[in-house]
Amino acid sequence: MAATKNYGPTRLVVGAHYGVVDFIAQRLTAVIMAVYTLVLIIGVLVMPSFSYENWKALFTFHVYALPLGQILATLFFFALAWHAWIGVRDIWMDYVRPAGVRMLLQVLTILWLVGSIVYFAQILWSI
């Protein structure tokens, strides 16, 4: 019986190039979150007083008829969820060996992230 070779040009590679897309997505979402966080910090620093009305205005300002504050906050939260999904999914794939347990953890992570997005949207778009 010949031993199979798991190295060199004959090795079985699954998921080719998924790492590049995830790497770029992780960096892109990090940039989106960093820029939005800086804008939010600047908004808080130039706020005349720290009140509920001013805090609410950071997230609900409009440019013409476009609710830009809510759109930017939603973009930030989707970027956060995508960023978290990539990171947590990689943790499950790297450290959880039994396929069933890994799949369960990934499904629970997806449910948690989708639930968080729905809850976020319900709060932000109801103000």
List domains and CATH numbers for the chain. 21-126 (1.20.1300.10)
**pLDDT tens series, the chain, 127 aa:** 556 665 556 655 555 566 888 999 999 999 999 999 999 999 999 999 989 999 999 999 999 999 999 999 999 999 999 999 999 999 999 999 999 999 999 999 999 999 999 999 999 999 8
What long-range pairs does 36-41 form, CB within 8 A, spacing at least 24? 36/72, 36/73, 36/75, 36/76, 36/79, 39/72
Q: Is 7 annotated as a binding residue?
A: no
Which residues, in sequence order, are bridge partners of residue 66?
63
Give me the pLDDT at residue 50, please: 87
The mean of the pLDDT values for the chain is: 89
pTM of the predicted protein model: 0.82
Give me the pLDDT at residue 29, please: 97
Q: Is 62 annotated as a binding residue?
A: no
Closest C-alpha to 86, from 98, 78, 76, 74: 78
